[in-house]
Amino acid sequence: MKIVMAAAECVPFVKTGGLADVMGALPKELVALGHEVTVILPKYSLIPEEYKSEFSLFGEIQVPFKGEQNTHTLFEYVLKGVRYVLVENDSYFARDQIYSQPDDGERFAFFTRAVLAAVETLEEGVDILHIHDWHTGMVPFLLKEDARYASLKENVKTILTIHNLQFQGWFPKSLLVEELGMDEAYFQDEAVSWHNNVNFLKTGIVYADKVTTVSPTYRNEILTEQYGEKLESLLRTREEDLIGILNGLDTEAYNPAADMEIAMVYDQTSVENKAVNKRAVQSRFGLPERGDVPLLTMVSRLSGQKGIDVLEQTLPGILETQDVQFVLLGSGESQYEQFFRVLEADFPGKVVAHIGFDESLAHLLYAGADIFLMPSHFEPCGLSQLVSMRYGTVPVANKTGGLKDTVVEYDSNLRSGNGFLSDFSKHESFAEAVNRALSLYQQPEHWKMIKQNGMQGDYSWLRSAKEYASLYEGIAGK
């Protein structure tokens, strides 16, 4: 099949979160299954020069935007069989960050038009146009409602993947009329309007042929008021077309047996080498180099979603009563950054707060830690629990979204399970889940089994890619 994907970010070019990881991994797995995949991205100035220097000219497109037809250049880069097409527009994409710009609505409205213009240039045709998150949410609407795409829409089916329903892209209705050039009458239709604004993601949900989420549990959760972000009623009208497909893990990028970012490689047969990585973490941060003390870690964006408020309530007590070490890697909301800085000051020799992000350090922490903390209030899929289990680090997580789908509470009688779970919906505390993990850490036979169970899991994208391919074939009638 001929598949085009469009997204705002993609590994290895630019990354702020899990969306980029998906875009870096899923297309190459679809290619491995025999499909042709093109990924359309903005050509950001932030893309490392090592990639930009290898871009080749792909062609030019005419983009109808703000009442004009302007010419923009497309560049091409091929990696592992995937063709990446990058749209140049320095006035929108030559910025010091990808998001949080005052003109984000205008920038991604332009990208929406550019995606469709680029699709029109693909001589081999397109079966599936798979868009991701709010940044491309207006694509199905324009494809179906703008007469200039009449011939295109006859052959192209659209899929929207929701990576996080919390981010929807609300912008003034003038954007629809003045920038996108569509009739104001669409605001009389609930499909587009949202409190007198345009809601990019809502519009995509209405107009896409199918809508997917990044885990089966998150699919069910967003149909409820608690997780639906005020779109649950709309989502329930599309319940038959809403599918949950669990994200995979890039097993090449995250492979403890071949990871050059860690102190010593290891696999299931040499998991004792994991201890070398633990000492490397302790040495790097000046912690006592003890093999007997449990090393806890968290690699995360510091936001309310991630349950930092839960750690505010639980971590001080655990540190006071248990012989443990804790290392944080992350940044985000200032109040949470400050919490970890104070925690580090209050527990010298036990806590390290590394505010910021460092991909190499993240790999070392996954390899060196004993326990990985994920107290998320909601988690559409989650990547960290998959990485930690692949690296033999035991996750302690809250039972929500993709965490519920991938982390299984360890049963000491059956010796089954790969981690420990709290359940905030049932008032099962995170502290109790951490303490269960710490108790089993003192029982080497059980702890070894938990690590092995985690490392043996199938977290590859191949499983997910097959599900997407089946979905594509179903809606394209192939």
Q: For 159-168, write each residue's pLDDT tens digit.
A: 999 999 999 9
pLDDT at residue number 381: 96
CATH number (domain holding residue 149): 3.40.50.2000
Phi, psi (degrees; rounded to nearest 5) at 125: 85, 170
* Residues 276, 195 share a domain: no
Evaluate whether residue 258 is within a structural domain: no
**157 marked among binding-site residues:** no
Evaluate whether residue 333 is within a structural domain: yes
Rounded mean pLDDT, 303-327: 97
Evaluate whether residue 317 is within a structural domain: yes
3-state SS class at 45: coil
What does the pLDDT look like over 451-474, one tens digit per residue? Answer: 999 999 999 999 999 999 999 999
Rounded mean pLDDT, 82-103: 97
Given pLDDT bands bounded at 50, 70 and 90, which one contains residue 477? confident
Element (H, E) at 447: helix 444-455
Rounded mean pLDDT, 116-125: 93
Side-chain half-sphere of 12: how many Cα atoms within 13 Å? 15
Q: What is the pTM of this model?
A: 0.94
Q: What would the DSSP string read from start to end of 209-276?
A: SEEEESSHHHHHHTTSTTTSTT-HHHHHHTGGGEEE----B-TTTS-TTT-TTSSS---GGGGGGHHH
pLDDT at residue number 336: 98
Evaluate whether residue 255 is within a structural domain: no
pLDDT at residue number 192: 78
pLDDT at 478 over 80: no
Given pLDDT bands bounded at 50, 70 and 90, which one contains residue 190? confident
Given pLDDT bands bounded at 50, 70 and 90, which one contains residue 123? confident
Whether the Cβ atoms of residue 435 and residue 422 lie closer than 8 Å to each other: no
* Residues 360, 234 share a domain: no
Whether the Cβ atoms of residue 59 and residue 74 lie closer than 8 Å to each other: yes
pLDDT at residue number 184: 87
* Residues 274, 220 share a domain: no
* Residues 134, 199 share a domain: yes
- The first and second tokens of residue 250, run together, are 């890039």
Instruction: Give the domain extent around 159.
Output: 2-248+462-476
Evaluate whether residue 257 is within a structural domain: no
What does the pLDDT look like over 202-214, one tens digit per residue? Answer: 999 999 999 999 9
What does the pLDDT look like over 425-454, one tens digit per residue? Answer: 898 899 999 999 999 999 999 999 999 999
pLDDT at residue number 383: 93
Number of domains in the chain: 2
Which residue's structure tokens are 């979160």? 17
